[in-house]
């Protein structure tokens, strides 16, 4: 049997010790990873923040996040963290459609913080349930628009409605727009509203305590309670929470200048929709950095103890911004 | 095949199996987004959702064959020469009614041989507040013009005491007065109650609205005749874009809002009239119903024609305050060609 043994200066007993120690060392390296994987909850509740004015940038983000969530096998439920007083009709409709599609695939619960009104209410209406705090504000189902005016003759346009309009046609268009909103809300929650369509069309807002009585909301509860309810509906006894931030990072945009103009950037990590060329702006010129001087910064760029790496990661981080600067609106 | 060749073949075969297998696995497990299922949103495609945006047509006519009368219109513009509101300079918050807004009424009067004059107080004239000490109503610019008028149409509510005295004398002399007011007037103009008191009419705070049945907006309410009169003849339904309920101390109601109308201040149903008549005074709780666009809605064109008939029904021109009895008859002679009034210094008076 001696021919089956390695020709080693170590005795068989020592060879065994070496093998065991080597295995232990390798195991020690991989054990935390295996433990973490084994210890992770099986599913995730994604919390999508819908906060601030409803605009194109917010709708872009919400659509993208919800699309990713629908294609992400680990996300099994969604909570919409609502804190918005509304905004642009089209952006509201885009979020409405995205939430509607998501709610057909997994539990979706809206959790209202301070307010979810008008376009905000529009966006969250397809959720399975709406959670409110007692002093949250919801409602305002309607259109806020100035009265259409007949405009004086304008010379130049190719047609009478290109740069002007008829008052009656304007009224009809606005009423159609308002009814689109109201009808959608009646379709989504008409069976829960304790109010008639006419009463809903008053566009009133309600405190949470009132909203759970008249059907504008379903439950009094906090964000955590909404998350737990969403997980329960998805059949998860244990779950992780993944918060998705959306929309502009703060209400004040970053101002950056190019060789031709000043642009407002509404996001820390801007896409095309977050960059808004400013036709006229009053600025302290020296305080507005040139786009070529802008560099991307992230947590990974922070200096790590024992290393000298710091600062920026990628000089082309402003590619979107720079590209958008040259664009003309059409 | 020697040992080295076998090793090479085994290596290549193994590598090929792995690469091909990985490629196939990649295709099979590709995680691109599947086609999204169609979501039916019937509420977006409902045919009833689209509101008719046809502006409509208007045919404003008069049935009266009265001789030529003079109708003075006060569009409510402020006296020139004073400090203009900065908002008015950019088209916001300006007072008064634009020329085009009274054209349907003015045009039908002109077409039927009547004279329309526009009162725009000149600089330095008291537009509001107490008049100069000792000034009588007839001595005001408005009083002077009213002496030559048979009817007075006003969109203003801000008159001095002397001007209100002139208006009262005009009514006492048989002149017809049509006072129109908008709900928002109560928010930014003083003096409305004083004029109402002079005319013996009332204006209720708030505006009428109807969410169930309206003309393209909840504030554009429909109103129906409250009885048969010259004002309501031939009118089935009229549109009042921003109407406030009005009343009269002793008069008749001409138009009431349709069922389902509510009042903004009470959020309760209301059938308070939007047009009332007290003798030769007509109070209308709206100033927009006779604009060119609104004249084309419902039977507003008929109502405007009726209003024109009422304005020329009686003649009071030339009456010194109190000289003519109320409801004085028209002069015995035929159409009267009047001398044009003196052109005011600022030239703002316009005669058509």
Give the CATH number for residue B304: 3.40.50
Indicate whether B169 belongs to any domain.
yes
pLDDT at B265: 94
Give dist(CA A192, CA A216) in Å, integer.
8
pLDDT at A294: 82
Chain B residues with CB inside 8 Å of A168's CB? 53-56, 216, 293, 296-297
CA distances in angstroms from B78 to A95, B158, B288, listed in the order given:
49, 10, 19
CA–chain centroid gap for B336, Å, is 32
pLDDT at B183: 81
Tokens for B59, please give them. Answer: 């045919």
**Inter-chain CB proximity A175 and B217 less than 8 Å:** yes
Helix, strand, coil fractions of chain B, as percent rounded to 5: 30, 15, 55
Whether B50 and chain A come into contact, CB under 8 Å, resolves to yes
* All structural domains of chain A with their residue ranges: 2-39, 43-147+181-244, 254-325
pLDDT at A18: 84
Coil, strand or helix: which one is B43? helix
φ, ψ of residue A267 to 5 degrees: the values are: -150, 150
Q: Among B50, B54, B56, select the one facing A176 at the smallest CB separation.
A: B50
Indicate whether B135 belongs to any domain.
yes
Q: Among A104, A183, A201, select the one facing B49 at the smallest CB separation.
A: A183
Interface ipTM: 0.78
Indicate whether B259 belongs to any domain.
no
Give the residue-averaged pLDDT of A199-216: 98
The residues in B 214-243 lying below 8 A from A, measured between CB atoms, are: 215-218, 220
**Inter-chain CB proximity B51 and A183 less than 8 Å:** no
Give dist(CA B77, CA B81) in Å, integer.
12
Q: What angle do CA B95, B277, B200 make, to 5 degrees?
A: 70
What's the structural domain count of chain B?
Answer: 1
Coil, strand or helix: which one is A285? helix
Strand order in the sheet with B208-209: B208-209, B262-263, B268-269
Contact by Cβ (8 Å): B100, B291: yes
Chain A residues with CB inside 8 Å of B56's CB? 168
A192 — pLDDT class (breaks 50, 70, 90):
very high
**Inter-chain CB proximity A184 and B41 less than 8 Å:** yes
Chain A residues with CB inside 8 Å of B50's CB? 176
CA distance A9 to chain B (A): 31
A105-120 pLDDT per residue, tens: 999 999 999 999 999 9
Task: Return the CATH number of the domain spanning residue range A43-147+181-244.
Answer: 3.90.226.10
DSSP string, A56-92: HHHHHHHHHHHHHHHT-TTEEEEEEEEEE--B-HHHH
Q: Is the model more confident about A9 or about B216?
A: B216
Indicate whether B11 belongs to any domain.
no
Contact by Cβ (8 Å): B116, B43: no
Give dist(CA A114, CA A135) in Å, integer.
7
Chain B residues with CB inside 8 Å of A176's CB? 49-51
CA distances in angstroms from A39 to A104, A158, A262, listed in the order given:
30, 68, 50
pLDDT at A182: 97
Q: Quick one: closest CA in A to B39, which residue?
A: A101
CA distance B129 to chain A (A): 32
Nearest to B58 by CA among B350, B245, B351, B308: B308
Whether A192 and chain B come into contact, CB under 8 Å, resolves to no
Whether A26 and chain B come into contact, CB under 8 Å, resolves to no
A135-179 pLDDT per residue, tens: 999 999 999 999 998 888 888 999 988 888 899 999 999 999 999
Give dist(CA A120, CA A124) in Å, integer.
6
Contact by Cβ (8 Å): A108, A125: no
**Inter-chain CB proximity B43 and A184 less than 8 Å:** yes
Domain membership of residue B291 as a residue range: 70-80+94-202+276-336
Residues 6+ apart with CB under 8 A from A303: A309, A310
Return the sign of the alpha-carbon dihedral for residues B125, B129, B132, B138.
positive
pTM of the model: 0.74
One digit per residue, the tens of pLDDT, for chain B of length 352 reads 677 787 788 878 888 888 888 888 777 766 555 566 788 899 999 888 999 999 999 999 999 999 999 999 998 876 544 444 444 444 444 456 778 889 999 999 999 999 999 998 765 554 444 444 456 666 789 999 999 999 999 998 889 999 999 999 999 999 999 999 888 776 767 778 999 999 999 999 999 999 999 999 999 999 999 989 999 999 999 999 999 999 998 889 999 999 999 999 999 999 999 999 999 999 999 999 999 999 999 999 999 999 999 999 987 664 433 333 322 333 333 333 333 334 333 433 433 3
A68-102 pLDDT per residue, tens: 999 999 999 999 999 999 999 999 999 999 999 99
The residues in A 254-293 lying below 8 A from B, measured between CB atoms, are: none
């Amino acid at each position: 049997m001696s021919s089956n043994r390695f020709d080693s200066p170590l005795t068989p007993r020592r060879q065994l010790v070496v093998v065991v120690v080597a295995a232990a060392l390798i195991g020690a390296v991989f054990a935390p990873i295996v433990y973490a994987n084994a210890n992770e909850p099986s599913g995730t509740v994604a919390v999508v923040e819908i906060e601030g004015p409803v605009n194109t940038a917010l709708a872009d983000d919400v659509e993208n996040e919800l699309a990713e969530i629908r294609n992400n096998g680990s996300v099994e439920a969604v909570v919409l963290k609502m804190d918005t007083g509304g905004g642009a009709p089209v952006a509201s409709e885009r979020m409405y459609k995205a939430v509607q599609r998501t709610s057909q695939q997994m539990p979706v619960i809206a959790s209202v913080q301070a307010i979810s009104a008008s376009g905000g209410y529009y966006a969250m209406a397809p959720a399975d349930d709406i959670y409110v705090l007692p002093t949250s504000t919801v409602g305002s189902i309607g259109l806020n628009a100035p009265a259409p005016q007949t405009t004086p003759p304008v010379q130049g346009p190719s047609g009478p409605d290109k740069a002007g309009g008829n008052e009656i046609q304007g009224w009809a268009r606005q009423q159609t727009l308002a009814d689109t909103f109201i009808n959608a809300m009646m379709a989504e929650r008409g069976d829960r509203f304790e109010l008639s369509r006419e009463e809903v069309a008053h566009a009133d807002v309600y405190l949470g305590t009132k909203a759970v009585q008249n059907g504008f909301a379903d439950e009094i509860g906090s964000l955590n309670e909404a998350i737990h309810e969403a997980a329960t509906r998805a059949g998860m006894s244990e779950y992780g929470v993944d918060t998705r931030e959306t929309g502009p990072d703060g209400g004040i945009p970053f101002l950056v200048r190019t060789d031709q103009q000043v642009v407002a950037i509404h996001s820390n990590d801007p896409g095309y929709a977050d960059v808004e060329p400013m036709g006229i702006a009053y600025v302290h010129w020296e305080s507005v950095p040139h786009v070529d001087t802008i560099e991307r910064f992230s947590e990974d760029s922070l200096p790590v103890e024992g290393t000298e790496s710091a600062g920026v990661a990628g000089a082309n981080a402003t590619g979107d911004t720079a590209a958008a600067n040259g664009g003309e609106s059409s | 095949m020697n040992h080295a060749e076998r090793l090479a073949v085994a290596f290549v075969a193994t590598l090929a199996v792995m690469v091909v297998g990985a490629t196939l696995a990649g295709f099979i497990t590709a995680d691109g987004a599947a086609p999204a299922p169609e979501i039916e949103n019937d509420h977006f495609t409902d045919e009833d959702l689209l509101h008719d945006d046809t502006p409509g047509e208007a045919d404003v006519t008069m049935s009266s064959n009265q001789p030529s009368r003079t109708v003075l219109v006060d569009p409510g513009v402020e006296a020139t020469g004073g400090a203009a509101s900065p908002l008015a300079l950019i088209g916001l918050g300006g007072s008064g009614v634009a020329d085009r807004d009274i054209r349907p009424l003015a045009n039908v009067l002109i077409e039927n041989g009547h004279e329309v004059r526009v009162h725009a107080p000149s600089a330095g004239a008291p537009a509001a507040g107490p008049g100069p000490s000792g000034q009588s109503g007839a001595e005001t610019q408005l009083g002077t013009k009213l002496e030559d008028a048979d009817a007075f149409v006003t969109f203003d509510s801000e008159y001095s005491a002397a001007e209100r005295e002139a208006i009262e004398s005009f009514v006492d002399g048989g002149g017809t007065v049509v006072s129109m007011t908008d709900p928002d007037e109560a928010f930014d103009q003083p003096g409305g109650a004083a004029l109402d008191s002079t005319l013996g009419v009332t204006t209720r705070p708030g505006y009428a609205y109807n969410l169930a049945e309206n003309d393209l907006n909840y504030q554009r309410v429909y109103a129906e005749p409250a009885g048969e009169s010259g004002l309501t003849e031939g009118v089935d339904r009229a549109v009042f874009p921003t109407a406030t309920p009005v009343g009269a101390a002793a008069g008749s109601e001409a138009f009431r809002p349709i069922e389902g109308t509510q009042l903004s201040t009470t959020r309760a149903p209301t059938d308070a009239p939007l047009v009332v008549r007290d003798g030769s005074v007509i109070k209308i709780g709206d100033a927009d119903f006779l604009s060119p666009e609104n004249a084309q809605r419902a039977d507003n064109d008929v109502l405007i024609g009726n209003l024109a008939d009422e304005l020329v029904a009686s003649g009071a021109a030339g009456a010194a305050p109190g000289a003519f009895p109320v409801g004085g008859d028209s002069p015995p002679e035929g159409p009267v060609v009047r001398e044009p009034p003196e052109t005011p210094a600022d030239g703002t008076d316009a005669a058509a």
